[in-house]
Amino acid sequence: MGNEFYKLTTGEKIFKVINYLLIIALCLSIILPFINILALSFNAGKDAERGGVYFWPRVWSLENYKEVFMSANIATAFGISLFRTVVGTISSVFLTAMAAFALKSKTMPGVKMFTLFIFFTMLFSGGIIPYYMLLKSLSLTNTIWVYVIPGLYSAWNLIIMRTFFQQIHPSLEESARIDGYNDFSIFMRIIMPLSRPVVAVIALFNAVGHWNDWFTGAFFVRSANLRPLSTLLQEMLLRAEALRDTLAQAAGTRYDMLDKIQVTGNSLKMATIIIVVTPIILIYPFIQKYFAKGVMIGSLKE
């Protein structure tokens, strides 16, 4: 806290200490469960069922991860997830930024009507069945583009980017137009470079959404070769739990058969969680400085 802490009044000191304690408690509530999941993922599943494994594996084992990576489609699923995350994020951020740049203009005809229409989609939706019928009519079901095209625009992300663009001083655009810049040049050379914080935030939200999405692959794709990693891992988890229950019922009192089951549904779940969240954890430190600025969008007004 430094020497400034001792210059505060008693009430300010108490308030500051309580704030720090709350922040520490919040951090622990996030970090400790993750460490527990990590420990369970490296612990033998059968041993973990006895309990008592908290922050360090009692019986080290890689069987949980071996079970996951033994799947024949794991490499293809990883490629699908990587493709949809990279292509979907870049396309969505760029197109959303272009739309936000247009909507921030107060002189564009019908800008209020377009804004109201976009906001209306945040409040109401057609439901899952009409959504499926729409995807089917567009020939997007059972194709790789079902992961990319429907998520190109988000009303929430569009409004966030428009709000950020509106805070950029209009004199920058006026000067660029005097120098002969057109709208696209202003967008690419002035607006986008000054909007790196909000671009980083929207990109992170998009990337996490694409990487973690299992629903689209489970309901809109039939081909096993087009399933993303999250969908494949979820299906493997369900199969592992069903297989374990079947073997347990067939084994009856033959505990020698049950002892051979080293990977349990719970241990496999922990391994899949670690596999899914690791790429996001590795990427986040590189955009943290932009993310910290981006979350302050709209908090300051001139």
Q: Is 90 exceeded by the pLDDT of residue 91?
A: yes
The residue written with tokens 């699923």 in the block is: 77
CA-angle at 144, arms to 138 and 147, nearest 5°: 80
Per residue in 172-197, pLDDT tens? Answer: 888 888 888 888 888 888 888 888 88
* Contact indicator for 136, 222 with CB cutoff of 8 Å: no
Q: Is the dihedral of CA 208, 211, 213, 214 positive or negative?
A: negative
Rounded Cα distance between 100 and 115, Å, is: 10
Give me the amino acid identity at 70: M
Higher pLDDT, 235 or 189: 189
Band the pLDDT of 25: cuts 50, 70, 90. Answer: very high
Q: Which candidate, 25, 24, 26, 61, places its Cα nearest to that of 264? A: 61
* 203 CB-contact burial (10 Å; exposed 0-12 / middle 13-18 / buried 19+): buried
The Cα–Cα gap between 185 and 75 comes to 40
- Whether the CB-CB separation of 114 and 162 falls below 8 Å is answered with no
Residue 250: per-residue pLDDT: 60
- The C-alpha atoms of residue 255 and residue 246 are separated, in whole angstroms, by 14
Average pLDDT, the chain: 81
Single-letter code of the amino acid located at 98 = M
Q: Per-residue pLDDT averaged across 230-237, rounded?
A: 81
Which amino acid does the sequence have at 62?
A: L
pLDDT recorded at residue 50: 76
pLDDT tens digits, one per residue of 42-87: 888 777 777 788 888 888 888 888 877 877 778 888 889 999 999 9
- Flag whether pLDDT at 259 surpasses 60: no
Which CATH homologous superfamily contains domain 65-294? Answer: MetI-like (1.10.3720.10)
- Identify the pLDDT of residue 145: 93
Contacts of 278 (CB under 8 A, 6+ apart): none
pTM exceeding 0.85: no
d(CA 270, CA 39): 9
Contacts of 119 by beta carbon, 8 Å cutoff, 6+ apart: 155, 159
Q: What is the mean pLDDT of residues 254-261?
A: 53
Residue-by-residue DSSP string for the chain: --GGGGGS-HHHHHHHHHHHHHHHHHHHHHHHHHHHHHHHHTB-HHHHTTS--SSS-SSB--HHHHHHHT-TTHHHHHHHHHHHHHHHHHHHHHHHHHHHHHHT-SSSTTHHHHHHHHHHHHH----HHHHHHHHHHTT-TTSGGGGTGGGS--HHHHHHHHHHHHTS-HHHHHHHHHTT--HHHHIIIIIHHHTHHHHHHHHHHHHHHHHH--HHHHHS---GGG--HHHHHHHHHHHHHHHHHHHHHHHTT-HHHHHT----HHHHHHHHHHHHHHHHHHHHHHHHHHHHHHTTTTS---
